[in-house]
Amino acid sequence: MKSGKTHALRTRVYVDGYNFYYGCLEKSAHKWLDLRALAERILANVPHGRDGEPAAYELVTPAVKYFTAPILRAFAKSDDSIVCQNYYHDALVGHLGDEIQLIRGHYDARPSRAYRWESDKPPRECDRVEIWKVEEKRSDVALALHTYSDAIRNEVDQIVVLTNDSDFEPAMRMIRQHTPTIIGLVAPIKPERANVNAKLQMQAHWIRRHILDDEIARSQLPSVVPRPQGAVHKPLSWYRRPDLLIPIFDESKRVRRSAGAARKWLNQPCAHLGNRLPIAMCEQDDTAQELREYMARYAEEFRV
């Protein structure tokens, strides 16, 4: 909570998962993101209140509503995409509990036709080609309904929405017309590409025009999230250098004789390596090579 005014604005954060992923996380090594921690980090550096007035705030449970959709297997970018997404969702709930609510939509894929893009021709002069049209369904509608419902039922004094999708503009306009709720807009865009949707800007009381890579990097979930039904581990392919980590993990699994034992060893300081974390040594070529050499000596000494 921020100090400043006697009354703290009851605040909830709404994350457009699709918009956020493609604006900030695609091809990033920081997908294992604690959304609540990121929200607090951003809120600590923006003015609150109407028209940027200083104001105190407090996050109310659930602090974050996260709108997402399960990946379609036929369109997954890698073999483990679906598993990784499931692990991430489990880790969010395991770590944040009642502080986060996942609202799931779905993807719809169907054959369609579209104009082939040619730089020197208008669309009507371009050939039409067969394509797969993939659309996320229900998530944008759910985002609009949840924000409006929470505002109209007086659950919050302030909504903070992470999106740059113009489809959300009608909901923002209705919230302003029918409630006194303050609308904060955080565009999930990197600073070098910052281009906030003009329609959304017109309806927001305050705007954050980008999200910094450093803010995301400093808002990561623990690599191992304990849960009553079993711990959730950050997927190996989501680390900075999976090309270095995965072969080392496989060798560690062979030596330690189980994936669980391998993960435990990788995530504990090793006295023989200067109390460094083996998994952290897999982020650079030189330290990964040092780790491989140590593992080879260990395997030779104990004949494993």
The pLDDT of residue 3 is 43
Task: Output the CA angle 268-272-274, nearest 5 degrees.
Answer: 75
Q: Which CATH class is domain 9-104+138-217?
A: alpha beta
Helix, strand, coil share of the chain (percent; to 5): 45, 20, 35
The pLDDT of residue 58 is 94
Query: Of the candidates 100, 13, 31, 35, which has an alpha carbon nearest to the alpha carbon of residue 71?
Result: 31
**Do residues 67 and 258 make contact, with C-beta atoms less than 8 angstroms apart?**
no
**Do residues 255 and 298 make contact, with C-beta atoms less than 8 angstroms apart?**
yes
Burial class (CB in 10 A: 0-12, 13-18, 19+), 34: buried
The pLDDT of residue 218 is 97
Burial class (CB in 10 A: 0-12, 13-18, 19+), 91: buried
Q: What is the pLDDT along the chain (304 residues), one digit of tens a residue?
A: 444 445 799 999 999 999 999 999 998 999 999 999 999 999 998 877 776 666 789 999 999 999 999 887 777 688 889 999 999 999 999 999 999 999 998 767 788 888 898 888 898 889 899 887 777 777 889 999 999 999 999 999 999 999 999 999 999 999 999 999 999 999 999 988 778 999 999 999 999 999 999 999 999 999 999 999 889 999 999 999 999 999 999 999 999 999 999 999 999 999 999 999 999 999 999 999 999 999 999 988 887 7
| Cα–Cα distance measured from residue 61 to residue 155, given in angstroms and rounded to the nearest whole number | 10
Structure tokens that stand for 169 in this block: 């503009």
The pLDDT of residue 107 is 67
Structure tokens that stand for 250 in this block: 């496989």
Give the ranges where the chain is alpha helix by DSSP (H): 17-20, 35-43, 81-96, 139-152, 169-178, 198-203, 213-217, 242-256, 259-266, 278-281, 285-302
Q: In whole angstroms, how far apart are CA 241 and each of 54, 238, 288?
A: 42, 8, 10
What are the boundaries of each domain within the chain? Answer: 9-104+138-217, 108-135, 239-302
The pLDDT of residue 131 is 82
| Cα–Cα distance measured from residue 64 to residue 273, given in angstroms and rounded to the nearest whole number | 40
The pLDDT of residue 46 is 83
Q: Cβ neighbours of residue 32 under 8 Å, at least 6 residues apart?
A: 88, 91, 220, 221, 223, 234, 235, 238
Q: Is 168 helix (H, G, I), strand (E, B) or coil?
A: helix
The pLDDT of residue 75 is 72
What pTM, to 2 d.p., does this model score? Answer: 0.89
Tell me which DSSP letter residue 123 carries: G
| Cα–Cα distance measured from residue 283 to residue 263, given in angstroms and rounded to the nearest whole number | 16
The pLDDT of residue 5 is 44
**Number of Cβ atoms within 10 Å of the Cβ of 143:** 26
- Most distant pair of Cα atoms in the chain: their distance: 74
**Do residues 43 and 160 make contact, with C-beta atoms less than 8 angstroms apart?**
yes
Residue with tokens 């995530």: 267
Residues 171-207, buried b or exposed e (16+ Cβ, 10 A)?
A: bbebbbeebebbbbbbbbbeeeeeebbeebeebbbbe
